Structure 1
Amino acid sequence: MASGAGSPFSLRPMPAGDRKPKNLAEFIARMNVHSDGFRNVREDDLHKEIEAQKHGAGDSTNLDSTDGSDTENDAESSVDLRAARDEILRNIEIAHRNAMLTLDFVSLLLSKETPVQAGMTLSPELREMVGIGTLGATNLSASNLTKARVQENKLVATGRKLLDINNTADSILSAAARLQKEISLETKYWAEVLAVSDSGWSVSRLPQEPQTMGVKFGFSESGAEFRANSLAPMRRADDGSVNLDTGGLGGDSKRLLVSIEKDGKVVGRSSLPEVLSEDAPLESRVLEARNSIFAQELWHEINREGRTLLSYNVRLESSAVTYGLDANTNIVFKLVTLGDEADLGGPPDSNSEDGNAETICTVLYLLLSYGHRQNGRKRSQQPLLSAAQGRQAHPPHYLLRPILAYLHFEGLVQRCIRFLSDLTAILQSAGITTAAYTISESPVTLRSLLPASESLLAVLLDPLSFRAELTITPEARLEIVGHTFTAQYVTGQFRVGLLPPAGIPSGQGGDAPAAGDGNTPPDNTTANPLFRAFPPGDGYPSLDEVLIYVRQAIPRVLADRYEGLAAEWTAAAAAAAERGGQHESPEWIVSIDGKAVRDHDTEDRGVRFELYGTAAADGDDDDDGDGNYGDDGSDGGGGDPSRLRELRVTGDLFADGKPARRSWVWTAAGEEAEEAPGGRLDDVVRQVLLCP
Structure 2
Amino acid sequence: MAGTESLRDVTLRPWPAPKKEELSQEDLFLQIQQLTTERGHLRDITEKSLHEDIAAGKDVPDEAKEDVESGAKEKDAPTKQEMLEKVFNAQREMYGHLEWAKFAAENALDLISLVLSQDPNKRSAASFSHTFREMGLSQGIPFGSFGISRENHEFHVRKPDEILRLQEQEDRQVVAAKGSRMESLDSAVDEILKAAKKLEKEVRRETKYWKEIVSVSDKGWPIQRLRQNARHVPFGVRYGLPEASDHFKARGFAPLNMDKDGSIILDPALRLKPKTFRVRISENGRIIGTSQLPIEAECKELPIEKSIQLARDSLLEEELYHEMSLETRQLLAYGVEFRDSVIHVDAPRMGGTSHSRKLLIDCIPRDDSVPGGQERSHDWLAQNVAEALRLLLAHEHSMRLYRRSQLPPPLTGRAREKPPPPLLRTLLAVFRHLEGVGSLHVYLETVARTLNSAGLDVTLTTTLETSWAKLTESLKESSKKGLSATDQLLDVFMKPFDGRATLTLPSWSGQSESMTIATRTIVGQPTFGTEHKLTMPSSLTSDLGLFQELKFSVVEEVKSYIDWILTLQIAHRLVKSEYSSRVVIKTHGQRVTIVSRGTKKGSTASKDISVEVQHGELKVTATAVNPQEGAEDSERVHTWNGQKEAISLKEVVKSWVE
2:93 and 2:575 map into 1 onto residues whose CA distance is 167
Secondary structure, aligned partner of 2:460: strand
Query: How much does 1:189 deviate?
Result: 2.1
Structure 1 contact 321–332 (Cα < 8 Å) conserved:
yes
Residue 436 of structure 1 aligns with which residue? Answer: 459
Count of residue pairs the alignment pairs up: 490
Tell me the alpha carbon deviations over residues 115-148 of structure 1, each in whole angstroms, 9 at most, x when there is no partner: xxxxxxxxxxxxxxxxxxxxx955499869999x
Residue 609 of structure 2 aligns with which residue? Answer: 607
Residue 541 of structure 1 aligns with which residue? Answer: 552
Structure 2 contact 243–398 (Cα < 8 Å) conserved:
no
2:96 and 2:545 map into 1 onto residues whose CA distance is 152
1:343 and 1:379 map into 2 onto residues whose CA distance is 52
Residue 105 of structure 2 aligns with which residue? Answer: none
The aligned amino acid for 1:338 is R
Which of 266, 286, 294 is matched with 2:308 structurally?
286
The aligned amino acid for 1:243 is I
Query: How much does 1:199 deviate?
Result: 5.2
Query: How much does 1:557 deviate?
Result: 1.2
The aligned amino acid for 2:639 is V
Structure with greater helix percent: 2
2:451 and 2:570 map into 1 onto residues whose CA distance is 10
TM-score (norm 2): 0.64
Do the aligned partners of residues 165 and 426 (structure 1) sit closer, same or farther apart at CA in structure 2, a change above 3 Å counting? same
1:670 and 1:286 map into 2 onto residues whose CA distance is 65
Structure 2 contact 277–386 (Cα < 8 Å) conserved:
no
Find out whether 1:593 has 2:624 as its counterpart. no
Find out whether 1:497 has 2:525 as its counterpart. no
Find out whether 1:484 has 2:521 as its counterpart. yes
Find out whether 1:657 has 2:652 as its counterpart. no
1:143 and 1:547 map into 2 onto residues whose CA distance is 132
Residue 427 of structure 2 aligns with which residue? Answer: 403
Structure 1 contact 465–484 (Cα < 8 Å) conserved:
yes
Query: How much does 1:253 deviate?
Result: 0.9
Find out whether 1:457 has 2:490 as its counterpart. yes
The aligned amino acid for 1:492 is T
1:220 and 1:411 map into 2 onto residues whose CA distance is 37
Find out whether 1:275 has 2:243 as its counterpart. no
Query: How much does 1:554 deviate?
Result: 1.1
Do the aligned partners of residues 597 and 81 (structure 1) sit closer, same or farther apart at CA in structure 2, a change above 3 Å counting? closer
Which of 558, 563, 573 is matched with 1:551 structurally?
563
Find out whether 1:532 has 2:546 as its counterpart. no
Tell me the alpha carbon deviations over residues 578-634 of structure 1, each in whole angstroms, 9 at most, x when there is no partner: xxxxxxxxx322342341221462696211111222xxxxxxxxxxxxxxxxxxxxx
Structure 1: give runs of 5+ residues left out of the alignment: 1-64, 85-105, 111-135, 499-515, 522-528, 572-586, 614-643, 672-677
TM-score (norm 1): 0.61
Residue 356 of structure 1 aligns with which residue? Answer: 384
| Larger mean Cα displacement after TM superposition, 488-497 or 204-213 | 204-213
The aligned amino acid for 2:87 is N
Query: How much does 1:535 deviate?
Result: 3.7
Query: How much does 1:219 deviate?
Result: 4.2
Secondary structure, aligned partner of 2:278: strand
Query: How much does 1:681 deviate?
Result: 1.9
1:290 and 1:83 map into 2 onto residues whose CA distance is 93
Secondary structure, aligned partner of 2:360: strand
Query: How much does 1:245 deviate?
Result: 1.7
The residue correspondences of 1:178-577 to structure 2 (distance < 5 A) are 178-197=198-217, 201-204=221-224, 212=233, 213-219=235-241, 221-247=243-269, 251-262=272-283, 268-275=289-296, 277-324=299-346, 325-326=348-349, 327-328=354-355, 329-341=357-369, 348-353=376-381, 356-357=384-385, 359-370=387-398, 372-373=400-401, 376=404, 381=409, 383=411, 394-432=418-456, 434-440=457-463, 441-442=465-466, 443-444=470-471, 445-446=474-475, 447-450=478-481, 451-452=483-484, 453-474=486-507, 475=511, 476-488=513-525, 490-498=528-536, 518=538, 521=539, 529=540, 531-533=542-544, 535-542=546-553, 543-564=555-576, 566-567=578-579
Structure 2 contact 288–374 (Cα < 8 Å) conserved:
no
The residue correspondences of 1:637-652 to structure 2 (distance < 5 A) are 644=616, 646-652=617-623
Structure 2 contact 256–267 (Cα < 8 Å) conserved:
yes
2:320 and 2:218 map into 1 onto residues whose CA distance is 28
Do the aligned partners of residues 556 and 157 (structure 1) sit closer, same or farther apart at CA in structure 2, a change above 3 Å counting? same
1:156 and 1:75 map into 2 onto residues whose CA distance is 68
Tell me the alpha carbon deviations over residues 345-388 of structure 1, each in whole angstroms, 9 at most, x when there is no partner: 956234453663355234333344246436746895564989xx
Do the aligned partners of residues 265 and 250 (structure 1) sit closer, same or farther apart at CA in structure 2, a change above 3 Å counting? farther
Do the aligned partners of residues 197 and 289 (structure 1) sit closer, same or farther apart at CA in structure 2, a change above 3 Å counting? same
Tell me the alpha carbon deviations over residues 65-92 of structure 1, each in whole angstroms, 9 at most, x when there is no partner: 99877533344467789999xxxxxxxx
Do the aligned partners of residues 429 and 253 (structure 1) sit closer, same or farther apart at CA in structure 2, a change above 3 Å counting? same
1:534 and 1:288 map into 2 onto residues whose CA distance is 67
1:565 and 1:138 map into 2 onto residues whose CA distance is 161
Percent pairwise identity: 23
